[in-house]
Structure 1
Amino acid sequence: MCIAVTGSIATDHLMVFPGRFAEQLIKEQLERVSLSFLADRLEVHRGGVAANITFGLGLLGLHPVLVGAAGLDFAEYGAWLRANGVDTSAVRVSDTLHTARFVCTTDQDQNQIATFYAGAMAEAPRIDLAGIIARTGRPALVLVGADDPAAMLRHTAAAHSLGVPVAADPSQQLARLDREQARQLADRARWLFTNEYEAALLVERTGWSELEILGRVGTWITTLGADGVSLARSGEPRLLIPAVPTDKIADPTGAGDAFRAGFLAGLSWKLLPEQAAQLGCVLATTVLESVGTQEYKLLAADLIARIDQTYGNDAARALEPQLARVS
């Protein structure tokens, strides 16, 4: 099953503030905030939601197609992705702009303040998804991730017009979308991804109730952090998949992208959505335990053991044949 993933390609600048953001905010002065946080650690890593998701899929042996815009500094990053099983032939490389930058500071409570510089991502609306599909082959699924909003809308429309199932993952870009744009991205999605905050924001942006959204999508997947993941379908009981526990959290950045990689891999292996979500959760926890969104490694024995401990022997045995290919 070929999966095309559209969205941002970026370099992450991750910093750690050893205090609490909340303790620095003065309630009566929130309309005039002027703060500087002295970070005690800086890590520079590869990132971007589409690159992160395809990296995870590549580690699981899926050979996904990455669709996005990168800058003239992309050569080393592209080689890294190809070495990890990602098809980068559909990446548009700018002649003048640098790859996007994600600058994020995390406090000791795992709260985050971030800034995103679009850079070459501004050229993403020029990407012709229909032409890419004609050249690389029809994918079984197109995930439309956070990107330049015009590109997200264009990719969604192209996939629908070609009859290719869409996984909608607007995430950070929801705040920039107006009502019609939010509706276009969510409507008719086979799979809809949000976190808990984004779920509420999607309701506000679309003007649709949760029931109305469920009536327009296949399955709505909501990540809940330490509480796991919920899977909701119209007319069916909501499923709650517990998170895979850990006491070694290093950095939360990229955990949601890793969940998506695991979930999509499970779907490609024809697993039930509940089983795919279990695989997604174990990948998310693996990323939580490392700094950087593409610094983790996957070991089949470790993944199977953690699934066994969290979800039981039957769940581990169901995934074992597929995970055997992970080295």
Structure 2
Amino acid sequence: MKIATVGVHVLDTHVIGIESIPASSDGQLVETIRFSPAGTAGGTAVVLSRLGAEVLSFGAVGTDPVGDSLLALLAREGVDTSGLVRKPDHQTSSSVIPVRPNGDRPAWHCIGANGAFTLDDLDLATLEGITHLHLGGPEFLGGEAAGQLLAHARSIGATTSLDILAPGDPDMLAWIADALPHTDYLLPNDEQVLGFTGATDLAEGARALVAAGAGCVAVTQGAKGALVVTADAVAEVAAYPIDPDKLVDTTGCGDAFSAGFLRGLSLGRDTTEAARLGCATAAQVAQGLGTDAGSYSLESVEAFAAG
């Protein structure tokens, strides 16, 4: 599998053990502060690399120290970062995620250079030889440009996938609608599907997205697992149970599911089996801080899934 991950790249700062924001200028000791690469392209790239794919990342970061750190972390994971352009007038996208003892994880986020990335920043010739293109955050490009990119990927023999970052809203779906007919696999969460379509039933909403052009919709449902919908079938895939004592942080689990699902497809598995690998990968990531936490591989994830 040689995959181009295009779009949103973020440096996450996880802060573990936040019970409240200190009053005034008081301080508070916490358990852990940790950096990790994230985003619907960057986080997915890390997990795909760990699962044995050859990964090339494309997007935009700033010329700041945050960008230096993000590039270094991605490169350490074996991701080819030569397609990430640097924008001197924009800071690198970054989030601060305080994780509460109960697992809640509000976030402060800066869009930064992700909002400045355009198709002009991507040399299409560098995509030659890829087997898959994954676009994370098509809303930043807009549907027309996103559709052009996905159509080009298909024209060179690659399959395509799309992961939307924004919350579900009918206006957002209209904004990216031109990309859907060029999307083999759409990877939203349940709230996005219901919000985009106005449906009250998840399968009904996913079918509406298939009717809008997506070949397959694989929906994450948090602790419930995933729902995989095509024009011909609907399949429910359960999440893998995690010992509460081992559950650390669910940040990045959606990106991990995407990576596991796409890797499963590249190995010749059907969409249901690929979703099982996606759920197992997400469960692995939930037991650490960020998508790059701990040590896991395709073999270890498959062993976890086998019980």
Provide the TM-score with structure 2 as the length reference: 0.82
- Structure 2 residue matching 1:194: 3-state secondary structure: coil
**Could you tell me how far 1:178 is from its partner in structure 2?**
3.6
CA distance in 1, matches of 2:119, 2:153: 18
**Could you tell me how far 1:156 is from its partner in structure 2?**
3.1
In structure 2, what is the equivalent of residue 181 of structure 1?
175
**Could you tell me how far 1:286 is from its partner in structure 2?**
1.0
Superposition pairs for residues 198-217 of structure 1, below 5 Å? 198-204=192-198, 210-215=206-211, 216-217=213-214
Do the aligned partners of residues 39 and 228 (structure 1) sit closer, same or farther apart at CA in structure 2, a change above 3 Å counting? farther
**Could you tell me how far 1:20 is from its partner in structure 2?**
9.4
**Could you tell me how far 1:151 is from its partner in structure 2?**
6.0
* Matched-pair contact (CA < 8 Å) for 2:143–2:178: no
CA distance in 1, matches of 2:29, 2:195: 30
CA distance in 2, matches of 1:159, 1:66: 15
* Matched-pair contact (CA < 8 Å) for 1:149–1:173: no
Superposition pairs for residues 94-243 of structure 1, below 5 Å? 94-125=87-118, 127-129=120-122, 131-132=123-124, 134-146=125-137, 149-150=140-141, 153-161=144-152, 163=154, 164-172=158-166, 174=168, 178-204=172-198, 210-215=206-211, 216-236=213-233, 238-243=234-239
**Could you tell me how far 1:105 is from its partner in structure 2?**
3.0
In structure 1, what is the equivalent of residue 5 of structure 2?
5
* Matched-pair contact (CA < 8 Å) for 2:167–2:191: no
Do the aligned partners of residues 188 and 252 (structure 1) sit closer, same or farther apart at CA in structure 2, a change above 3 Å counting? same
The superposition leaves residues 171-226 of structure 1 with CA deviations (integer Å, 9 ceiling, x where unpaired) of 33655954531322434421011111111122149xx9543322222111011111
More helix by share: 1
Superposition pairs for residues 280-295 of structure 1, below 5 Å? 280-295=278-293
Read off the aligned partner of 2:185 and give its amino acid letter. W
Which of residues 263, 266, 269 is equivalent to 2:267?
Answer: 269
- Structure 1 residue matching 2:303: 3-state secondary structure: helix
Read off the aligned partner of 2:86 and give its amino acid letter. V
In structure 2, what is the equivalent of residue 255 of structure 1?
253
- Structure 2 residue matching 1:171: 3-state secondary structure: coil
Do the aligned partners of residues 173 and 63 (structure 1) sit closer, same or farther apart at CA in structure 2, a change above 3 Å counting? farther
The superposition leaves residues 287-314 of structure 1 with CA deviations (integer Å, 9 ceiling, x where unpaired) of 10011232231156643332212xxxxx
CA distance in 2, matches of 1:235, 1:301: 31
* Matched-pair contact (CA < 8 Å) for 1:221–1:229: yes
**Could you tell me how far 1:90 is from its partner in structure 2?**
0.8
CA RMSD, Structure 1 to Structure 2 (Å): 3.0
Do the aligned partners of residues 299 and 188 (structure 1) sit closer, same or farther apart at CA in structure 2, a change above 3 Å counting? closer
In structure 2, what is the equivalent of residue 29 of structure 1?
none
CA distance in 2, matches of 1:88, 1:260: 20
Which of residues 22, 46, 62 is equivalent to 1:71?
Answer: 62
Do the aligned partners of residues 179 and 202 (structure 1) sit closer, same or farther apart at CA in structure 2, a change above 3 Å counting? closer
CA distance in 1, matches of 2:228, 2:129: 27
Provide the TM-score with structure 1 as the length reference: 0.78
**Could you tell me how far 1:86 is from its partner in structure 2?**
1.1
* Matched-pair contact (CA < 8 Å) for 2:167–2:195: no
Matched, 1:308 2:306: yes
**Could you tell me how far 1:102 is from its partner in structure 2?**
1.2
CA distance in 1, matches of 2:167, 2:120: 18
Do the aligned partners of residues 198 and 242 (structure 1) sit closer, same or farther apart at CA in structure 2, a change above 3 Å counting? same
**Could you tell me how far 1:282 is from its partner in structure 2?**
1.5
Stretch of structure 1 that moved more, 170-179 or 193-202: 170-179
* Matched-pair contact (CA < 8 Å) for 1:145–1:152: no
Stretch of structure 1 that moved more, 294-303 or 217-226: 294-303
CA distance in 2, matches of 1:106, 1:214: 35
CA distance in 1, matches of 2:298, 2:185: 27
The superposition leaves residues 127-152 of structure 1 with CA deviations (integer Å, 9 ceiling, x where unpaired) of 444x23x1341422221112662367
In structure 2, what is the equivalent of residue 26 of structure 1?
none
* Matched-pair contact (CA < 8 Å) for 2:5–2:135: yes
Read off the aligned partner of 2:190 and give its amino acid letter. E
The percent identity for this pair of structures is 22
- Structure 1 residue matching 2:188: 3-state secondary structure: strand
